[in-house]
Amino acid sequence: MLKPEIESALNDQFNMEQSASHGYLAMTAYLDARNPNGFAAFMRRQADEERVHALKIFDHISERGGTPKLMAIEAPEQDFDSVKAVFEAARDREGDNTRSIHALFKLARDHDDYPTQTMLQWFIEEQVEEEAWCDEAVDLLTMAGDSSSALLMLDQKYGGLATAPTDE
């Protein structure tokens, strides 16, 4: 049985993942409207993955006898200055999410909640990957600058990543 403090923190994390999915879909809309489809396809996949993350936590709360709680999701930013600004915003979001996952893990550890710690191990590893793709994208887009041929090449690269196999 989940302790109330853990259940509440898990529900906050569940909603943070839902909100990330919402945010990435808003970025998809921006990218779709302005570019060839590669970046947009990549970001849409991120939105799908965040939904899967949310459901992993939803299921954990349920399986442990708790009740997942759906909260209002704030309207995400949908206006950006550039593709690079989109990926910088993604990087900020993932940094916040990593801090939140780490705080949740610490709480589970302080309460001797072993199943929650085990479940969160996956998220800790996932956040390393999430931060890595954000950093790489921002670096590559910085190198590309205003060169339309470089941006087109990156769009193709990210479009290819959107269909690569994943572990969510």
The footprint of Fe ion (CB under 5 A) covers 17, 50, 53, 130
Nearer to Fe ion, 49 or 144 (CB): 49
Q: From CA 60, how far away is CA 42, in angstroms rounded?
A: 27
- How far apart are the C-alpha atoms of 16 and 71, rounded to whole Å? 10
Could you give the angle at the alpha carbon of 64 between the alpha carbons of 54 and 125, nearest 5°? 45
14/30 with CB nearer Fe ion: 14
Min dist. Cβ of residue 85 to Fe ion (A): 18
Q: Which residues lie below 8 Å from residue 50, measured CB to CB, with a gap of 6+?
A: 17, 18, 20, 21, 24
Residue 125, helix vs strand vs coil: helix
Q: Which is nearer to Fe ion, 47 or 153 (CB)?
A: 47
Nearer to Fe ion, 7 or 50 (CB): 50
| Nearest residue to Fe ion, scored by beta-carbon proximity | 53
Q: Closest distance between Fe ion and the C-beta of residue 1, in Å?
A: 26
Q: How far is the CB of 139 from Fe ion (least distance, A)?
A: 18
